[in-house]
């Protein structure tokens, strides 16, 4: 019966169906007899028993790392947080020296605990059970602690993600109240800017390193707000450059890495934008021949993101839609006597802490405009930036 069932179950279908059940992500660490630090990423960690206190994980039989771990006298299980995808991917992709460039500290048993892990569990091997093409590794708990109570990293539909509950979203809304106050203190100035240029003028704030939200928006008479981006947008390149440009280089690298399959040319454009805004205090995007309709895919991607209930597959599609945008993001200055079709202008704004967490964005701009007139727009926009920054200090 079992052999017959095995022959008729398609492995691809098996993975697809079981992939619709989310699993937590853990990193099992140990120290080999020769002192080498070992690490194995698993999506099969589970608590098993209270008496005795047992946990388990299920490595593949082909895992060379686990073969070495079977000789360890202790193992430490790291429950990783939603922001630790980079560390997890680094460990999963390396054959050796897995901890190079990764912060960690020793557990009581001396095995590595990744900095910022949600929790760690020190164990000693208890029993190993054969299970098809995997092992079930049972481990007895000897010590444990919660060190960073944040949302965990999960694996779902073939991708990594993070679970955020409604209460956390409400807390984030509360944390952006200062930005809302800043923006609305300058409402008249933002509305005046939109009216004078004949565009949409919005103020956005960074909710986290992964998301921005509109806290104020004004449009000139006659503009269709339906063609705007969503109120919450993912900080996927190029979105967020006015925030990321002032962060440490490793944060900039993390931002660029959000673009899956980002080639060298795309990465160079993004780094060029970060350098440009640092020098000039603004950034522009340029429309292709089809005009503003080129924003359609990005607009729909941000609206999918705003729904707040994306699966990892949908999140990957959102990132891909943004990556494939036909908007020209190459940073360059304007020549006074040339005409331009500008898609957007964005300017970074300092908050009350002196951090560039806000952005003034101008969109739905008039087309075929000379560089000298755009310079006038930028001068007007900088005046509004100063008003916003003054409001943040009051």
Quick check: 231 pLDDT over 90? no
Average pLDDT over residues 108-121: 94
Per-residue confidence (pLDDT) for residue 174, from 0 to 100: 45
Does the model's pTM come out above 0.85?
Answer: no
Quick check: 44 pLDDT over 90? no
Distance between CA atoms of 382 and 388, rounded to whole angstroms? 10
- Residue 47: CB atoms within 10 A of its CB come to 11
Q: How confident is the model at residue 165 (pLDDT cuts 50, 70, 90)?
A: very low
Place of tokens 């099992």: 28
Token code pair at residue 264: 């060298």
Average pLDDT over residues 269-273: 95
Average pLDDT over residues 40-46: 90
Average pLDDT over residues 385-390: 93
Distance between CA atoms of 71 and 74, rounded to whole angstroms? 9
The residue ranges of DSSP E strands in the chain, in sequence order, are: 23-24, 26-31, 37-42, 46-49, 54-57, 75-79, 104-106, 112-114, 119-131, 134-146, 153-156, 159-162, 200-208, 211-219, 232-234, 283-286, 339-340, 342-349, 358-363, 369-370
Instruction: Assign 3 to helix, strand or coil.
Output: helix
Per-residue confidence (pLDDT) for residue 29, from 0 to 100: 96
Average pLDDT over residues 13-18: 71
Per-residue confidence (pLDDT) for residue 334, from 0 to 100: 96
pLDDT digit string, tens, across residues 190-209? 999 999 999 999 999 998 88
Per-residue confidence (pLDDT) for residue 170, from 0 to 100: 38
Average pLDDT over residues 339-360: 93
Query: Residue 131: phi, psi to the nearest 5?
Result: -145, 85
Residue 181, phi-psi category: left (phi > 0), alpha (psi -120 to 50), beta (remainder): alpha
Per-residue confidence (pLDDT) for residue 22, from 0 to 100: 67
Token code pair at residue 17: 């169906």
Average pLDDT over residues 109-120: 94
Average pLDDT over residues 103-127: 94
Q: How confident is the model at residue 305 (pLDDT cuts 50, 70, 90)?
A: confident
Per-residue confidence (pLDDT) for residue 387, from 0 to 100: 94
Per-residue confidence (pLDDT) for residue 155, from 0 to 100: 72
Residue 106, phi-psi category: left (phi > 0), alpha (psi -120 to 50), beta (remainder): beta
Distance between CA atoms of 273 and 241, rounded to whole angstroms? 7
Distance between CA atoms of 40 and 98, rounded to whole angstroms? 9
Distance between CA atoms of 246 and 248, rounded to whole angstroms? 7
DSSP lists the bridge partners of residue 37 as 31
Quick check: 342 pLDDT over 90? yes
User: Where do the H-state alpha helices sit in 134-238?
Assistant: 166-175, 177-185, 187-197
- Residue 232: CB atoms within 10 A of its CB come to 18
Per-residue confidence (pLDDT) for residue 167, from 0 to 100: 38
Identify the DSSP state of 329.
-
Place of tokens 């970060």: 274
Token code pair at residue 169: 């979203």
Average pLDDT over residues 308-334: 81
Per-residue confidence (pLDDT) for residue 171, from 0 to 100: 39
Question: Residue 370 in contact with residue 336, Cβ under 8 Å?
Answer: yes
Per-residue confidence (pLDDT) for residue 169, from 0 to 100: 40
- Higher-pLDDT residue of 1 and 372 is 372
- Higher-pLDDT residue of 209 and 112 is 112
Average predicted confidence (pLDDT) for the chain: 86
Average pLDDT over residues 94-120: 92
């Amino acid at each position: 019966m079992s052999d017959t069932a095995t022959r008729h179950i398609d492995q691809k279908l098996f993975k697809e169906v079981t992939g619709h059940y989310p699993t937590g992500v853990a990193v099992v660490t140990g120290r080999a007899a020769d002192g080498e630090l070992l690490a194995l990423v698993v999506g099969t960690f589970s608590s098993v028993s209270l008496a005795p206190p047992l946990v388990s994980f299920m490595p593949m039989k082909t895992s060379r790392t686990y073969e070495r771990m079977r000789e360890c006298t202790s193992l430490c299980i790291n429950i990783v947080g939603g922001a630790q995808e980079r560390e997890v991917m680094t460990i999963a992709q390396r054959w050796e020296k897995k901890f190079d460039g990764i912060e960690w500290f020793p557990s009581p048993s001396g095995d590595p605990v990744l900095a910022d892990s949600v929790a760690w569990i020190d164990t000693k091997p208890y029993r190993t059970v054969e299970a098809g093409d995997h092992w079930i590794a049972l481990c007895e708990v000897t010590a444990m602690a919660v060190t960073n109570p944040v949302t965990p990293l999960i694996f779902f539909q073939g991708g990594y993600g993070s679970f955020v509950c409604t209460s956390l979203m409400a807390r984030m809304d509360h944390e952006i109240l200062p930005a809302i106050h800043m923006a609305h203190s300058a409402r008249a100035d933002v509305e005046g800017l939109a009216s004078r240029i004949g565009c949409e003028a919005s103020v956005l704030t960074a909710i986290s390193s992964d998301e921005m939200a509109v806290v104020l928006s004004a449009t000139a008479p006659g503009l269709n707000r339906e063609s705007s981006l969503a109120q919450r947008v993912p900080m996927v390149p190029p979105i967020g450059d006015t925030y990321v440009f002032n962060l440490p280089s490793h944060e900039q690298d993390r931002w660029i890495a959000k673009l899956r399959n980002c080639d060298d040319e795309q990465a160079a454009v993004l780094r060029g934008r970060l350098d440009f805004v640092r020098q000039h205090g603004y950034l522009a995007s340029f429309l292709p021949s089809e005009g503003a309709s080129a924003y359609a895919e990005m607009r729909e991607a941000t609206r999918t993101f705003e729904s707040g209930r994306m699966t990892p597959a949908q999140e990957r599609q959102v990132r891909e839609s943004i990556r494939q945008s036909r908007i020209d993001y190459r940073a360059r200055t304007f020549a006074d006597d040339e005409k331009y079709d500008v898609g957007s202008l964005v300017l970074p704004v300092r908050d009350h802490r002196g951090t560039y967490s806000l952005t003034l964005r101008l969109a739905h701009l008039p087309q075929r405009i000379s560089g000298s007139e755009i310079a006038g727009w930028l001068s007007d926009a900088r005046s509004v930036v100063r008003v916003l920054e003054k409001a943040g200090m009051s």
